[in-house]
Structure 1
């Protein structure tokens, strides 16, 4: 039965690959500039979810994903390597207790890394990975329950994590050797009910929550995590354990779902509130006081899927800056919204995916100033597999002009 199911899935993926066409209709287009690829797995029963994508120095791509394992409550770690045309090279199902990979891919000292977790001790791992999707080294980090990682310069990164012993959301600055240069911890509040949605996020027995962190153009650090009983956006200078500013949500039913720091202390922001979604591509947030996410002026996004990932990037096309906000629609397509970065005005929208259900995982600006969009597809409505869209700069210009 295993072989029969594997044969069926392989045939389905081949059919999709043959019947699907490049995103662009120009026959003279470089095959590396525009494509859609769907990736099969020899493990037919593994539902592989998207985590992050990064372009390598050879203009291929590393794909980071997760999958359900039978021997742990946490999702396993999956890495794949594809070439510049999106053609599959190899993959790695990381074995042992290395689980729960989180975005983003990190570039430290010219090498690629990602953060994961030990399934038993719950401490964070920093994994160096080569362009062939092999884990080169793994070192333990002095945190537990890692939630998100983001680059912060060339030799350190920002790490968001959870300390279940002290019941704190922790923001750390970590070096490539795993040492912690600076750290602040913010209390989530007492009681098991406060911690429950966090643990459910890690085991995927509940919703995947929008944990993220970064550094604003003002120099302040920000994080989206639990603080004082509520999923909140915090601003901090990491001088102590008190945030300089708080944008409060509604327990775990409302809050900020995506954030992109822009010049001049402004932000592109998306928020959710009891199933409804909103966005503002040019918002001013109070980083030195306490406000509510519901106070952020924003437009309703009626077609967005409830609790879907929201990803944001900035992009310059023909000298014009744009904010790109991506997510998944209610009818299971990947949608990209384009806004003028200077005015915040809506410019264009693009939908990716057809026939089968698609979900967004991550967006990356490529070396040729196009976009790489990592997602997942439900093949035949049964098998969740990774997919990679590559959209060329020319196609993006046609869209926004």
Structure 2
């Protein structure tokens, strides 16, 4: 496979090109497809993308890693097709990068790690199945996984060496009502759920996943046999599509309900309460595609704490929506994408005060390729009131 790159920039000034560029990473094999899951900036100012590659003869995906330099130029890739179904997030701890996946088209969870040059690649089996979402915290790596046969949603705290520090499982319920959509998610033959996991405060964690037949937000201390709080969804037709804790009871969130999308940039949730998520309401965005993927980034723009929501629009662009973190007020928007369709992967703050957005674009409307939009600090600020 040969990779080529298509870049867009405003001028040839090297300093400017590190602040602002658009790169699309193409392949000469049209049958191949690549989509990003997460992105991190490296110590040399470049970027590492965790992606997935399309495999022939199966709906499962292979692990695909891409390194770009600070100008958005292609440096290196690793196509690890013996590893499958990588999940967000790509976590950076010290000088190494970590993510979870399965191996050899199976279901067993493996912890993978590598350095910023995509070298020193290692995998460690963990002894349980179906990784769904992860997050690095001070104590290690949080992991949400699903044991469909055992009928449990499982939240684990994993050491960087692959050891299980603590773990707790909660029932997903018996029968096809929960098993069928979960099987289709992991086999990639049906709806892809916005699974997530995180920490609210020391000792209080959450996962966005299945509990008692319903896609719900579950709070836990990873000790008790029952959740400490439940924000229930609408079986598999409604729930949270993104969640970012801002304090112990204040969140930036997004949810979906029977195809509609709602943003909640300033909502109160108590970790010990039980309530239906539909009661939280939210700001309706008809311009987004049905049940869009949503990513939320906390950033600082014009010396103001800002929330940046990223989602897929019906015009096949990536929409960026800016909200004042203190008040939840809408303060601006920007749309990324041009002649080809684009969809969101994730977005990050960059060391120069800008942001980087990774996404999927579709060449000729149907060949998925990885793209990176680098927005300068000034460009981001120009979109905020």
CA deviation string 1:258-293 (max 9, x = no partner)? 001103520011110110000110100132121111
**Is 1:36 matched with 2:39?**
no
Other-structure match for 1:364: 348
Residue 123 of structure 1, aligned match among 95, 100, 108: 108
Is 1:184–2:173 an aligned residue pair?
Answer: no
| Structure 2 Cα separation of the partners of residues 244 and 264 of structure 1 | 14
| Aligned length in residues | 385
- Quick check: 1:72–1:119 contact (8 Å CA) kept in 2? no
Partner residue, 1:136: 121
Which has the larger displacement, 248-257 or 68-77? 68-77
Q: TM-score by structure 2 length? A: 0.95
Q: Decide whether aligned partners of structure 1 residues 225 and 127 sit closer, same or farther in structure 2, where only a CA change above 3 A counts.
A: same
Q: 1:26 to 1:246 in 2, by over 3 A?
A: farther
Tell me, which stretches of 5 or more residues in structure 2 are unaligned? Answer: none
What CA deviation, in whole Å up to 9, does each residue of 1:49-95 have, x standing for no partner?
A: 22010011111111111122125441111111110111001111103
Aligned-partner SS, 1:201? helix
Q: Is the 8 A contact 1:142 1:180 kept in 2?
A: no
CA distance in 2, matches of 1:105, 1:297: 31
Q: Which residue of 1 aligns with 2:285?
A: 301
Partner in structure 2 of residue 103 of structure 1: 88
Q: CA deviation at 1:38?
A: 0.2
Partner residue, 1:203: 187
SS of 1:363's partner is strand
Instruction: Work out whether residues 108 and 125 of structure 2, in 8 Å CA contact, stay in contact via their aligned partners in 1.
Output: yes
Query: What's the counterpart of residue 197 of structure 2?
Result: 213
Matches within 5 A, 1:1-400: 14=6, 17=7, 20-22=8-10, 30-96=16-82, 98-134=83-119, 136-153=121-138, 156-217=140-201, 219-400=203-384
Which runs of structure 1 show a deviation greater than 3 angstroms over 4 or more consecutive aligned residues? Answer: 25-29
What is the TM-score normalised by the length of structure 1? 0.91
1:24-50: CA deviations, max 9, x gaps?
x89686211110000012432112122
Structure 1 residues 273-282 or 390-399, which shifts more?
Answer: 390-399
Distance 2:159 2:142 in 1: 9
Alignment check: 8 A CA contact 2:184 2:191 kept: yes
Q: Report the CA distance between 1:336 and its aligned residue.
A: 0.7
Displacement of 1:105 after TM fit?
1.1
- Counterpart-to-counterpart distance in 1, 2:313 and 2:352: 28
Structure 1: unaligned runs, 5 residues or longer: none
